Each structure stands twice: as C-alpha cells, then as structure tokens.
Amino acid sequence: MARKTVERNISYDESRKIYYVSMDLGRDKEGKRLKRYQTYRTLYAARAGLRDFLIHREQELNTPKHNLTLGEWLESWMDNIVRPTRAETTVYGYQKIIDNHVLPGLGDIPLLALSPMDIQQYYIQVQQNANLSSNTLRRHHDLLTSALRAAVRQDKLLQSPMDKVEPPRPQQKEASYYRPEELKRLYSLLEGHPLELCARLAGSLGMRREEICGLKWECVDYERQLLRICEARTAYGATVVQKETKTRSSVRTLYIPDDVTLLLQKEQERQAWRLEEPSEFVVLDRRNQPYSPNALSLAFTRFVRKNDLPRVTLHGLRHSFATVASMQGVPLFDIGKALGHATPATTGKVYTHLVDHTHEETLIKVSDALKK
C-alpha cells in the first residue's frame, strides 16, 4: 500500500508500520532538488527528527562562510567603522593596542575559529610578556568586545566569543591628593610662577589638565565671574588636537573665585603686553604657545620635585579639590557636578577616600553615642 501523508514532510507506510520523514537538502549544481528520507517507528520520533534536521539546516545555512583572520577583520573594522565615527585619540589608542599586542598574539587565528579560551590565554600571555596592568588589559578586552560584536552585526560571526570571556578585573587606584594645608603651601610656593594659574584651575576649580590646556578667553566671563568648560586639548602620540570635552556631562559652567579671577586678569594683561597677536588660549607655555597636556604635567611634576613637595601629579590637584570640598561637607553629588561626572556613582568610584572619610565620621558618631 502507498505511503499516506500524515503531516507536511511526514508520511506513514501502513504495511511496514514506519514513518518516513522527507528532508530537503536544497538543489544541486544543475538545479535539481535534493532530498533524503529517514524512517522512524513513531510519529513522535518522526516529528523530533524533522525538528532537529530543520534546526541543523537553519544553522548550516546561516553560518558565515569566509576565510577572514582576526587581524583582517580588525583592519576592516578600523577602516570602515572606527575611523569614520570615533575621535582621533580613540583611533590612535585602538591602533596602538592592535599593532603592538593583538596582531602578534591573535591576528593569524581565523575569525570563525577564534574561541573564548584563545582570548583568555592571550590575556595571560600579554600581561606576563608586556607586564601590563589589569586596568590596561581591560582596554584590550573592551576593544575586542566592540570589534567582535560588530562582526556579529556584519554577519561575519554567529556569536561573539567575548560573551564567554572572563574580563580582566580592574584595580582601583588610590587617588593621590593634597590636604588643605599642603595645597596652601603649594599655592604659596607658586606665587608669581608661570604654573600658578594652572595649579589654581586644577586645585580650586577641579579642572582636568586637558580642560586647562584647551581653555579659551572667550569662555571667561569676568562680569558674572563664570568660566565655561566646553573644549579640551588632547594629545595622542606626537599630535595635539583641540576637541569637545570628554563627555556631555563634562560641559559645565563654574564660578570663578576672586583669587582665580585676579590671576586670569593678570595673565590676560601679560599676554596683551608680550604678544604681537593675542592668543585665544588662556594657558601658554614659555614659548607663548598653547600647552600640550603632557608637557604641562611634566612641568608641574618637575616643580613638585624641585621644591621637595609630596609627590602629587597635576591631576592629583583635581583629587585635592574633591577632598577639600568633602572635608567642608559638600555632598558627593555636588562635587561630581563640579568635576563634570555623569553620576555620583562615578565620583564615589574614583574618589573612594571621600566615602571612607564619611564612614570614619559616621563610626565615630555612633561610638560617641554609645559611650557611657
């Protein structure tokens, strides 16, 4: 007796009492449809077999087929996705990581064969060989995550191996800073020095070094004693660029205290007297050129060493601003706003010593309350 169709792609042979499943394999080179048949004893087994075949077939049809290595994909990703959409500093940093570390370690592995274990072992090797910190290695992780997720979106991978990679655990660095008496001593030693204004902008206003270097006179409002931060001067390699601030939250307006206002006015007068053409930048080096962030940091570090001060970087003065504000009872939220942080959580994460200081006060108050 002929087979009787039970369901689509499933038929039943009553004489043999078995179910036939028709499995479509597509067409050959001549266009002829290819099929194969599988037999099952029960309808339940036939349905399960057909379902498994269809799932496998779907995966097979959708599986990317190419010979790209990770190195070749990273080159394409940088050229077509990163360079047209990211800042020059980001492009420079990514390319440096790729050229110095990723290509030698993983570049020759076929993209379709790249496994989570390959990447996990890469982290171990590069950390040992290059002596990189876990914070630096986290940038490698973020780069690979972004690149391989883009490969999934571009149908070069079904799934990113980064989804199963354990990221390097970042280490929170303790911020170095000056306490009020140390900051006062620094200010005293800097009186009349070319770095005095820079130190005040960092220590009294909490500005980043890139924001100080990128500050322009048009952003200074003497009448209302306000200073608008909307640009930054950033270095990558030997190149220095003027660009927008780090994040949207970094764009902010700060009140200028009287002592800082006086220093700004003196500097503007100095520039008007010394320069044939006025500069649009507030902070200039000894050649009356806009400072690069690295050069400014180096100049400050040399001053600290020369005067036998506690070792604090220019960025440490920003930490000092936050510390002094906290000691004066300023809430973490307001400190973060002045610093240009997106959320109080960011402020608390960076300035853990501020939170610890609050804990200290809390515990002392509880202890005093319980004393007899």
Read off the CATH number of the domain in which 108 is found.
1.10.150.130
Q: Which residue range forms the structural domain that includes residue 99? A: 70-164
- 154 with 184, same domain? no
Q: Mean pLDDT check: name the lowest of 44-53, 174-183, 205-214, 275-284.
A: 174-183
Q: Which DSSP category does 79 fall into?
A: I
- 53 with 76, same domain? no
pLDDT at site 93: 92
Give domain status of residue 362, yes or no: no
pLDDT at site 361: 66
Q: Of 110, 138, 164, which closes a domain?
A: 164
Give domain status of residue 169, yes or no: no
Contact 213/298 with Cβ under 8 angstroms?
A: no
pLDDT in tens, 328-361: 888 888 888 888 887 767 676 666 555 555 566 6
Query: Which residue pairs from 226-233 have beta carbons closer than 8 angstroms and sit at least 24 positions apart in sequence?
Result: 226/253, 226/254, 226/255, 226/256, 227/253, 227/254, 227/255, 227/256, 228/252, 228/253, 228/254, 229/253, 229/254, 229/340, 232/208, 233/290, 233/291, 233/292, 233/293
pLDDT in tens, 76-118: 999 999 999 888 888 999 999 999 999 999 999 999 999 999 9
Q: Which positions ≥6 away from 222 have C-beta within 8 Å?
A: 261, 264, 265
- 215 with 138, same domain? no
Give domain status of residue 260, yes or no: yes
Hey, which bits of 49-106 come out as E strands? none
Confidence of residue 44 (pLDDT cuts 50, 70, 90): very high
